[in-house]
Amino acid sequence: MNILFDMETGDPDDVMTLCFLTSHPKVKLRAVTVTPGTNAQIGIIRHILKMTGFEHIPVGSWKIGYEKNCVSDFHYRWLGKIAESQPDDEGYQIISQTLAQYPDLTILTGAPLKNFGQLDNASKIKTWVAQGGFAGDNVVPSQYRLKKFEGMLTCPTYNFNGAPREALKMLSEITIEKRYLVSKNVCHGVVYDAEFHKKMAVVKDKSKGLNLIYRGMEQYLLKNQQGKKLHDPLAACVAIDKSICEFKEVEMYRQNGKWGANTFISISVDKEKFVNVFTTVE
């Protein structure tokens, strides 16, 4: 499957996901876009792509020449000192060009959706898998609710709140055949901890990408024994195999800086029942 990955570099999640995407046999990584897309960020991404044999793919930036670094110190402890680099083009241009080249492209987003703000409303996307949004008690059955989110219908989520106008555009204005949102609370149920690390030890040498993840998380777990919640990696796995999550069709909304899902949305119609209701009067 052809994938474009939209990412940032504030925590290990996104670069872990990039490493994973370069490793999976079902994935053809076609492009990467970055928010905000500083030269330091582009340097990190090109370094990973070169190490994993994907140095040929285009890399786009939301704001070319953005002066801040926007790379967490962890990335340098993990990967060492890395030279800065320039993007190939603006992010929305890379997205448009990649969609034109690969009409069946899956867009995977793990960052605030800044790169989609200037995307032409005439653009057509086959599949969008986003890490973002929130599934409240009106969506999640009681047996699947995490304690910290019980009783909640809405919640702030970083990726959507980082660019709410662009998020609403992707949710309602851009023509997208299938939208899958991997919500914040679901992601909190998946953690890379010491037990997960043991499983990674068995497969870490099967690819350069998996080896990079293993090395990075070995350092991370030294200071964070509770582990790392896997937000973007979970979204990437969903892009490859939807069956790992249970989905419900909803209508997303934003209220006072928080996101929620309205379950009162029709997904099919029984015509006979419709006729019976329509023609029945008191």
Going by pLDDT thresholds of 50, 70 and 90, the confidence category of residue 282 is very low
Residues 242-270: what's their mean pLDDT?
Answer: 84
pTM of the model: 0.93
Q: What are phi and psi of 267, to 5 degrees?
A: -120, -10
Domain membership of residue 136 as a residue range: 2-279
- CATH of residue 81: 3.90.245.10
Residues 84-107: what's their mean pLDDT?
Answer: 97
| % residues pLDDT > 70 (the chain) | 96
pLDDT value for 272: 75
pLDDT value for 269: 67
Res 263 pLDDT > 90: no
Considering all CA atoms of the chain, what is the largest pairwise distance in Å, rounded to the nearest integer?
Answer: 76
pLDDT value for 281: 55
Give the whole-angstrom CA distance, residue 168 versus residue 172.
Answer: 6
Query: How do residues 204-224 score in pLDDT, each as one tens digit?
Result: 999 999 999 999 999 999 999
pLDDT value for 180: 95
Query: How do residues 97-130 score in pLDDT, each as one tens digit?
Result: 999 999 999 999 999 999 999 999 889 999 999 9
CA distances (Å), origin 243, targets 18, 50, 88, 129, 240: 21, 32, 35, 13, 9
Res 41 pLDDT > 70: yes
Res 56 pLDDT > 90: yes
The bridge status of strand 28-34 relative to strand 59-61 is parallel
Structural domains in the chain (count)? 1
Residue among 72, 94, 82, 85 nearest 13 (CA): 72
| % residues pLDDT > 90 (the chain) | 85
By the 8 A CB rule, do 32 and 57 touch? yes
Going by pLDDT thresholds of 50, 70 and 90, the confidence category of residue 275 is confident
pLDDT value for 225: 93
Going by pLDDT thresholds of 50, 70 and 90, the confidence category of residue 194 is very high
User: E strands of 104-248, at which residues?
Assistant: 106-109, 124-131, 154-155, 175-182, 191-192, 228-229
